[in-house]
Amino acid sequence: MDLRQKAASNFIWRFLERFGAQGVGFIVSLLLSRKLGPGPYGLVATVTVFTSIVSIFVTCGLNDALIQKKNADDLDFSTVFYFNILMCVALYALMYVGAPLIAKIYDQPELIGPLRGLSLILVFGGIKNVQVAYVSRNLLFKRFFYATLTGTLVAAVVGIWMAYNGYGVWALIVQNLVNTTIDTIILWLTVHWRPKKMFSFERLKELFSYAWKLLVSSLVDTVYNKLAQIVIGLRDTDEALAYYNKGDTIPSLLVTNINESTNNILLPIMSSEQDNVPQVRMMTRRAIQLSSFIIMPMMAGLAAVALPFVRLVLADDWLPAVPYLQIFSFVFAFYCVHTANLNAIKALGRSDLFLKLEIIKKTIGILTLFVTAQISVMAIALGQIFTCITGQIINSWPNRKLLGYSYRDQLKDMLPHILLSAGMGLAVWAVSLLGLHDLITLLIQIPLGIALYVAGAKLFKLEIWDYALSLLKGLTGRNKTTETEGEKV
């Protein structure tokens, strides 16, 4: 199988895994949102802020270091495994002891139990993270499909049962825990790598020399991304945070399917080709073209149907989330630019440059948040558009020299998709002016949007349309290849 087919095959498996998991999660989220209302979701959003930040220390960037290292072996993998376990136990202990202090800061004693409960995810993260790195390095993404989808389905049943039996916020907490637990168990059963009785401080030091910059970058990025929710949680009600968070979460669920699939496939493949700059440039360009071709119409369509969608699916209690949903649809439409550029920088071994970019972007973002927080929650959301645009330019800047692929070139590659998505979105939005029932409106808007976009891609003979079709034909036409576990790490 050539590189293009290998990348496409693993992308499809990863995409199916993310699509299945996020699709089920999305439906369950809608059901739980209607049942529980904004209050419990606001509480869980607050808890998730802290577990997300602490979870960055679970891998310390070492997973990416294992993937990027040319000759990583069992000693490297086993060393990282034992180090991760130690870190996870220490981090859970920290969260358990610190929960009362966090609850006191927010003046919400009810945060203590959920914080301690959801933090158990950290322990399971330590157990499965090296397995995840092994799968990514060897491009065995079919393993993720079985593990994630099974965990998501079982967790969905548990979460819905608990919500409808009066467990409130704990339905959301236990759903997350069950999902991670089953995911971890199945991944260990299907991926045959096991830690050996070996450990090397020298190897850990070598890996950490690359990983610490990614750790700091991820920490800065996560803290920054959660900072707005921290500010809103401190200055406003749980309901206000729930509306903001829901507007962020819905487009995030959709984009994550593609963005994570692209991210997981690009890094190992780019890393394997790190000495071939033209090849890395080509992969970066194709990633931006293909991702923007898929993501941008999804986000334009979501923004266009936001009002009837929220009113019909989430009920009137969630209507204040509509403008946030539209704002974040714009923000997430351009995430493919960030992912492709940053993966190219990591694959070329420039974790130092990666860290510098994060510091610059987050400095601008924090200043923007400081200004907008003085105004309103809506101003905070609008500030995300400004930081999204500046972040694209900053992330792409190094690749002007590293790859010879500037932001202007990237915009040229995306421009047909931007214009076509905007036109389609406008036409879809116009349907809502007819004053039909929300269900009828959505039943017209969704197929109309798909038809207009596909017709436009064919009419204007978009290059990426033919490329995507050729990939699909190549995958469906070739003989099935059986994956083996005999690949060396």
pLDDT tens, 48-69? 778 877 877 776 667 777 777 7
Does 217 map to a domain? no
b/e per residue 212-240 (b: at least 16 CB within 10 A): bbbbbbbbbbbbbbbbbbbbbbeeeebbb
- Placement of tokens 């039996």 in the chain: 165
| pLDDT over threshold 90, residue 326 | yes
Tell me what pLDDT residue 93 has: 92
Distance CA 358, CA 221 (A): 7
Q: Which of 396 and 348 is assigned the larger pLDDT?
A: 396
Q: Which of 409 and 349 is assigned the larger pLDDT?
A: 409
Does 197 map to a domain? no
Does 364 map to a domain? yes
Q: Which of 223 and 319 is assigned the larger pLDDT?
A: 319
> How large is the average pLDDT for residues 247-265?
72
Distance CA 35, CA 33 (A): 5
| pLDDT over threshold 70, residue 356 | yes
Distance CA 353, CA 283 (A): 20
pTM: 0.64
Q: Per mean pLDDT, which range of 17-21, 251-255, 362-366 is the poorest?
A: 17-21
Does 190 map to a domain? no
> How large is the average pLDDT for residues 286-299?
87
| pLDDT over threshold 60, residue 484 | no
Does 226 map to a domain? no
Q: Which of 93 and 316 is assigned the larger pLDDT?
A: 93
Does 200 map to a domain? no
For Cα atoms 95, 97, 102, give the angle at the middle one, nearest 5 degrees: 70
> How large is the average pLDDT for residues 459-470?
78
Does 378 map to a domain? yes
Work out the mean pLDDT of the chain and round it to a whole number.
80
Going by the DSSP 8-state scheme, the letter that residue 316 receives in this structure is G
Number of domains in the chain: 1
Full residue range of the structural domain in which residue 338 is found: 236-481
Does 225 map to a domain? no
